[in-house]
Amino acid sequence: MWFDQNLFCIKFKPTFRNKYLIFRRFIQHFFMENNRICQLFNIQKPIIQAGMIWCSGWELASAVSNAGGLGLIGSGSMYPDVLRTHIQKCKQATSKPFGVNVPLLYPNIEEHIKIIIEEGVKIVFTSAGNPKTWTAHLKQHGITVVHVVSGVKFAVKCQEAGVDAIVAEGFEAGGHNGREETTTLVLIPQVRKAVALPLIAAGGIGTGSQMAAAFALGADAVQVGSRFVATPESSAHQNFKDAVINTKEGDTQLTLKQLTPVRLIKNKFFSEVDAAEKKGATVEELTQLLGRARAKKGMFEGDLNEGELEIGQISSAIKEIKPAAEVVNEIYNDFKLTIQALQKLSS
């Protein structure tokens, strides 16, 4: 159970001071001192910055970690030597815990794992593959392992594989998604019922009130991606950052479902894919249309027409570029205020 009902047992007259003390204890117990994710990662705030390709380098990861959250380096767009450089620079930029996100389908996975171990990284988030493949090996080297899932059955497999925590990601999220198209609001409580592991909610989360909603559903922490794209520390191209803060509701859509479903901003490339899918294009034809390095072209090089622009639905609510530390503190403070407002409703 993610909360202790004993905290709410009031055996005395509920004076204003008593209510205040109960609320303060509630905040300290759940969201700081005894939060399972804060304890697992030794962080102050249960906010994880997603390890996004072409966006999450050492500058972003270290900034989030220095602000009390957990920053992740996105290794999926890095050659092995580049990953090593980012890890080393991150260690120089922060004394706080940080981690690396590793897509398990990455062609240089063995080299990435080897570098992570050699550089002494203590937290690894894995995704896009079978958690059994590397979990035991990583844990033998003292590494905390978290796996990203899009459905309940995969969460159960993660628990069986021995991971330390799970990220359950709804299909509101940007980038690659599950085929189930389950929303975060539906997914989190089902995963919470199915597994006992610490649970991190992801997908459509970029504000403190959304974080509070995730906790109400049973999450122990949140993973935020899109909001951190629009920061100075993000390694994304400025054109892409500008596109994100100008995105409106309905401007993103899940596509390439025959290959690997991915949520993109609608642009020229998206329209070409959409037209091909409507004409019944084969997997081979879609693969040829996708080509190579589309995400790099769009997100890192700034080609807003021919590039793949991976971002979540929450992008329509992002209106300005802010420093990563400011984003962390804004989300966390808004989260506490939301909890306080909800507490007043029940008094």
List pLDDT tens digits, range 292-309. Answer: 888 999 999 999 999 999
Q: Is the pLDDT of residue 224 over 60?
A: yes
Strand order in the sheet with 165-169: 47-49, 221-224, 199-202, 165-169, 144-149, 123-127, 98-103, 71-74
Which pLDDT does position 4 carry in this prediction?
41
Domain co-membership, 297 together with 337: no
**Of 156 and 179, the one with more pLDDT:** 156
Q: Give the least confident one: 6-20, 285-299, 306-320.
A: 6-20
Quote the CA–CA distance of 205 and 167 in Å, as a whole number.
Answer: 13
The answer for residues whose C-beta is within 8 angstroms of residue 251's C-beta and 6 or more apart is 265, 266, 315, 316
Grade residue 105 by pLDDT with cuts at 50, 70 and 90.
Answer: confident
Domain co-membership, 174 together with 305: no
Percent of the chain residues topping a pLDDT of 70: 90
Handedness of CA 295, 128, 154, 99 (dihedral sign): negative
Domain co-membership, 31 together with 107: yes
Q: Give the least confident one: 15-24, 40-49, 210-219.
A: 15-24
Domain co-membership, 20 together with 100: yes
Q: What is the mean pLDDT of the chain?
A: 90
Domain co-membership, 193 together with 310: no
Which pLDDT does position 9 carry in this prediction?
36
Domain co-membership, 100 together with 217: yes
Helices 152-161/184-194 angle, 10° precision: 40
What is the count of structural domains for the chain? 2
Domain co-membership, 165 together with 285: no
Which pLDDT does position 177 carry in this prediction?
82
Quote the CA–CA distance of 77 and 64 in Å, as a whole number.
Answer: 20
Quote the CA–CA distance of 339 and 35 in Å, as a whole number.
Answer: 15
Domain co-membership, 194 together with 211: yes
Domain extent, residue 119, equals 5-236+316-345
Give the residue among 325, 299, 210, 311 at the shortest CA–CA distance from 265.
311
Domain co-membership, 131 together with 52: yes
What number is the average pLDDT over the span 312-323?
Answer: 96
What number is the average pLDDT over the span 300-328?
Answer: 96
Backbone angles phi, psi at 237, to 5 degrees: -65, 150
Q: Is the pLDDT of residue 341 over 60?
A: yes
> Three-state SS for 183?
coil
Which pLDDT does position 21 carry in this prediction?
52
Domain co-membership, 141 together with 176: yes
Give the residue among 27, 78, 68, 76 at the shortest CA–CA distance from 48.
68
Domain co-membership, 252 together with 323: no
Grade residue 128 by pLDDT with cuts at 50, 70 and 90.
Answer: confident
Percent of the chain residues topping a pLDDT of 90: 74
Q: Is the pLDDT of residue 331 over 90?
A: yes
Q: Is the pLDDT of residue 346 over 80?
A: no
Domain co-membership, 310 together with 224: no
Token pair for 287: 């693969």
Grade residue 106 by pLDDT with cuts at 50, 70 and 90.
Answer: confident
Grade residue 255 by pLDDT with cuts at 50, 70 and 90.
Answer: confident
| The residue type at 344 | K
For residue 310, what is the DSSP state? B
